[in-house]
Amino acid sequence: MFAKSASSNAVNSLFSLAARTFVAIVQCLPLYGVALVGRAGGFLFYYLDARHRRVAVNNLLACLSNSYSKKEILSLARENFCRIGEAYLSALKTAAIPEEKMGPVLSIKGEENLNLAVRPDGSLPSFLFTIGHFGNFELYAKAGVFARGYEISTTYRGFNQKWLDRLILSLRNRSGCNFFERRREGGKLRSFMKQPGTITGLLADQSAGRSGLRLPFFGRPCSVTPAPAIFALRYNLNLHGCLCRRLGLGRWEIELYPEIPSRLNGLARPVEDIMSDINAQYELFILEDPANWFWVHNRWKNPDHAKKRGFSSDASGT
């Protein structure tokens, strides 16, 4: 048993060394070249990864066949793989670029939509951004540029391989954003959102399985996480949609959209209504540039497993 454990540790150390060397090489290269190589890798995987290619094509056909021909759908799927490859490899590079040098890489739009006026009790407002797998979505960690001095947080799903989890987290932590593992650190996330002067970004564009709400997305039922609506109500967070848009090779823009109301006339809106608004906004993001989204995810799997009736919108929970 000891020998087996020692052998496993040696293999993991070897993988870790190889991965760190690869990241170091990528970070020494110009972003333009990294993005090109990433696109080439995505193009290759479009032909090698039949399972995800099939998921992407089927999703695109189901959602966009009224607007695009079969040939155009296949072209969109191929471009989608190229974009994903570009975003993943570029994220290794952009993680090492200091904020003061991000100007040519990342532009910001929609700052006027953020109301930073203090609350009646004199405290700073806090915000929740509904983000999605658009563009180079690792750049959402730079959302602090919308409100200087604010603390930023988001969630992530850790890898089973501890060496890989440590490596990716070390890259993400350079952004200054607080990352909470969504399966183990829910309490820390909730404590963070209770504080004034914070921005939390939550991904809400993937299947939530049995814990989600059954709501339509592009006219098809799917499981939708209620978390953004529940947290916005519970912790009095101003709710906004946020999009990472690709402008060109190795260039992106993060746009903040107007507030999505979580209350009307002082009363909490139903969670289903809030999440329907978020879904509708995601649809607009996708229609603007279909290749910019993560079509390789099976967004509409097992919609009947989701809850058919909504969650309580009680904002008093902890």
Tens of pLDDT, residues 10-65:
788 898 999 999 999 999 999 999 999 999 999 999 999 999 999 999 999 999 99
Residue 279's region, left for phi above 0, alpha for psi from -120 to 50, else beta, is alpha
In a domain, 285, yes or no: yes
What average pLDDT does this structure show over 227-233? 98
* Top-confidence residue, 306 or 167: 167
Residue 315 has pLDDT above 50, yes or no: no
- Res 208 pLDDT > 70: yes
In tens, the pLDDT along 91-135 reads 999 999 988 899 999 999 999 999 999 999 999 999 999 999 999
Residue 122 φ/ψ region, left for φ over 0, alpha for ψ in the -120 to 50 degree band, beta for the rest:
left
Average pLDDT of the chain to the nearest whole number: 92
Question: pLDDT tier at 213 (50, 70, 90 boundaries)?
Answer: very high
- 109 in a structural domain: yes
Which residues, including other chains, have CB under 8 Å from residue 89's CB and lie 6 or more apart?
26, 34, 35, 37, 38, 41
- Report how far residue 84's alpha carbon sits from residue 79's, in angstroms, rounded to the nearest whole number: 9
* 297 located within any domain: yes
124: containing domain: 2-305
The number of folded domains in the chain is 1
Counting beta carbons within 10 angstroms of the beta carbon of residue 27, is it exposed (0 to 12), middle (13 to 18) or buried (19 or more)? middle
> What pLDDT is recorded for position 142?
84
Q: pLDDT above 90 covers what percent of the chain?
A: 80
Q: Are 95 and 179 in contact (CB under 8 A)?
A: no
pLDDT at position 310: 47
Q: How confident is the model at residue 147 (pLDDT cuts 50, 70, 90)?
A: confident
Q: What is the mean pLDDT of residues 200-221?
A: 94
Residue 314 within any structural domain of the chain: no
What pLDDT sits at residue 308? 59
Which tokens belong to 6? Answer: 């020692």
How much is the average pLDDT of 270-280?
Answer: 98
In the prediction, which pLDDT does 7 show? 65
In a domain, 219, yes or no: yes
Residue 311 within any structural domain of the chain:
no
Q: If you average pLDDT over residues 215-232, what whole number do you get? A: 96
d(CA 246, CA 39): 13
Tell me: pLDDT of 314 over 50.
no
pLDDT of residue 316: 41
- Which residues neighbour 164 within 8 Å (Cβ) at sequence distance 6 or greater? 15, 16, 19
Q: Residue 304 has what pLDDT? A: 82
Question: Does residue 201 contact residue 293 with C-beta atoms inside 8 Å?
Answer: no
In a domain, 316, yes or no: no
**Rounded Cα distance, 226 and 209, in Å:** 11
> Using CA atoms, how far apart are residues 118 and 126, in angstroms rounded to an integer?
10
Residue 311: per-residue pLDDT: 45
**CB distance 152 to 202 below 8 Å:** no
Q: What is the pLDDT of residue 313?
A: 43
Q: What is the mean pLDDT of residues 264-282?
A: 97
Is residue 244 included in any domain, yes or no?
yes
Sign of CA dihedral 135, 141, 142, 144: positive
